[in-house]
C-alpha cells in the first residue's frame, strides 16, 4: 500500500501540493483563524508546531477529500474520540523512533517494551473501534484497510505472542526477590537475585507469617515495607540501587542483546505509517473540535458544496461571524446570506457606525478561509 494520507488523495505529489499553496497568509492573523481552529503546540517534545498556513490549498480535489473525512468524523464521533486518544501514544512512538540507538540496556529495553505495548494498544484500539465505525470517505476507508491489514497480519500477531512471553516481558517487571547467604555469625557471604516478579511486594509481619494469616501469599513481607531512600543513608541506598541494576543487567543481558535490534527493526518498518498520519490527525481533530464546539453553542455548521473554480461564484446562506460565537460577546449573533457570481462581483456595503458592516465582511472572509483548509 502506498503512503497513507488523510489530507491528500492517493498519489498526490509534493509538486502538486506546492503548486496549490497561496501566495500570502496575512489573512490568517487578520481573521484570527488560529483562535478558531486551535492547533496544540508540541515544540516542548522536540516536535515542530503545526501552522494553519501549511494546510491551506486551492485544489478542489484535495478540499473534497478532506471535507468527506471531516463529514465522517462529525457524523460519527467515534472517529474523533479514537483519534484524540491515539495522538499522545503515536507521539510517544515518534519520540522513540528519534531517540532509539544501538546501545541497549535494561532501562532502554524497559522503554522499548512499553512503547511496543503502546503500539499494540493503538492497533487494538483502532481495530476494535475504527473497523466497526461507519466510513464513506476515501481517506478513512483507506485507513480502515491499513488497520485491518496490520491487525490481521502474521507479523503483528507474532509480536503480540512474543510480548506475552515472560522472558521478554520487561515492561511488567514490578519487583525482584533477593537471596542472601549468611555465615555462622550472620555475616553476608553471597547475594543475588532469586526471581523477577510481575507484581509488587506489600506489607506484612513476622506474626502474620507465623500465624499463617498470609496463607500462600508469597509477596507479603515479614517486616514493614518502607522506601529505600528513607530507610537508608543516601550512600547505602545508592549502593543497593547499583547492585540491583547490575544484577538485572546480568540477568537480562542475553535477552536484551537479541531483543534490542529486533525492536529497532520492527519500529523502523512498521510504525512509519502511524507517524506519517500523526500531523494529519492532529489537524483534523482540531478542525472537528471547532465544529463540535460551535454545535454545542447552538450554531449551525454545514458541509460546503464545491463549485468549479471556473464558475467564480460563492453562495452563502445564513453565514455568521464565528469569532462572535466563540467569544460570546453578543447574546444574539446575526446571520446573513451572500451571493457572488456573474450577477455581481463588487459590493458596496453601507450603514451606520457599529452597524455590523465589518462583522459581515469578516464573516464572509472567515467562511471562505475555513473552507480552504
Q: Is 313 exposed, middle or buried (0-12, 13-18, 19+ CB in 10 A)?
A: middle
* Per-residue pLDDT reduced to its tens digit, 229-277: 565 667 777 777 777 777 766 666 655 555 556 666 676 677 889 889 9
Cα 174 to Cα 170: distance, rounded to the nearest angstrom: 9
* pLDDT at residue 166 in the model: 46
Say what the pLDDT of residue 16 is. 93
List all residues 6 or more positions away from 39 whose beta carbon is below 8 Å from its beta carbon. Answer: 49, 50, 51, 52, 282, 283, 286
Closest CA to 93 of 271, 249, 255, 213: 271
Residue 20: predicted pLDDT: 93
Q: Is the pTM of this model over 0.85?
A: no
Closest by CA position to 281, among listed 90, 107, 99:
90
Residues in the chain where the model's pLDDT stays below 50: 1, 166-168
Beta strands (DSSP E) in the chain are 175-182, 188-197, 314-319, 336-340
Count CB atoms within 10 A of the CB of residue 31: 20
Report pLDDT for 9. Answer: 94
Amino acid at each position: 500500500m502506498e503512503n497513507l494520507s488523510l489530507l491528500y488523495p492517493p498519489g498526490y505529489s509534493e509538486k502538486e501540493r506546492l503548486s496549490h499553496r497561496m501566495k500570502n497568509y496575512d489573512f490568517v492573523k487578520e481573521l484570527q483563524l488560529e483562535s478558531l481552529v486551535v492547533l496544540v503546540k508540541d515544540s516542548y517534545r522536540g516536535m515542530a508546531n503545526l501552522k494553519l498556513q501549511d494546510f491551506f490549498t486551492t485544489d478542489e480535489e484535495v478540499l473534497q477529500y478532506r471535507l468527506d473525512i471531516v463529514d465522517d468524523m462529525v457524523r460519527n464521533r467515534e472517529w474523533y474520540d479514537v483519534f484524540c486518544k491515539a495522538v499522545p501514544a503515536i507521539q510517544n512512538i515518534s519520540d522513540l523512533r528519534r531517540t532509539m540507538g544501538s546501545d541497549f540496556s535494561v532501562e532502554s529495553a524497559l522503554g522499548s517494551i512499553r512503547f511496543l505495548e503502546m503500539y499494540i494498544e493503538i492497533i487494538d484500539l483502532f481495530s476494535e473501534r475504527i473497523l466497526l465505525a461507519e466510513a464513506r470517505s476515501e481517506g478513512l476507508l483507506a485507513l480502515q484497510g491499513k488497520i485491518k491489514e496490520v491487525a490481521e497480519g502474521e507479523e503483528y500477531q507474532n509480536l503480540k505472542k512474543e510480548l506475552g512471553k515472560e522472558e521478554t516481558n520487561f515492561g511488567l517487571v514490578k519487583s525482584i526477590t533477593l537471596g542472601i547467604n549468611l555465615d555462622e555469625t550472620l555475616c553476608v557471604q553471597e547475594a543475588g537475585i532469586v526471581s523477577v516478579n510481575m507484581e509488587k511486594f506489600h506489607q506484612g509481619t513476622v506474626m502474620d507469617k507465623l500465624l499463617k494469616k498470609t496463607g500462600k501469599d508469597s509477596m507479603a513481607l515479614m517486616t514493614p515495607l518502607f522506601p529505600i531512600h528513607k530507610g537508608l543513608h543516601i550512600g547505602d541506598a545508592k549502593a543497593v540501587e547499583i547492585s540491583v541494576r547490575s544484577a538485572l543487567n546480568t540477568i537480562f543481558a542475553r535477552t536484551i542483546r537479541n531483543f534490542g535490534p529486533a525492536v529497532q527493526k520492527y519500529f523502523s518498518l512498521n510504525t512509519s505509517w502511524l507517524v506519517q498520519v500523526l500531523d494529519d490527525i492532529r489537524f483534523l481533530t482540531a478542525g472537528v473540535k471547532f465544529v463540535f464546539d460551535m454545535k454545542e453553542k447552538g450554531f449551525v455548521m454545514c458541509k460546503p458544496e464545491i463549485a468549479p473554480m471556473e464558475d467564480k461564484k460563492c453562495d452563502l446562506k445564513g453565514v455568521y461571524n464565528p469569532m462572535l460565537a466563540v467569544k460570546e460577546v453578543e447574546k444574539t449573533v446575526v446571520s446573513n446570506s451572500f451571493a457572488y457570481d456573474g450577477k455581481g462581483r463588487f459590493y458596496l456595503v453601507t450603514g451606520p457606525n457599529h452597524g455590523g458592516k465589518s462583522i459581515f465582511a469578516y464573516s464572509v472572509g472567515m467562511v471562505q478561509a475555513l473552507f480552504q483548509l
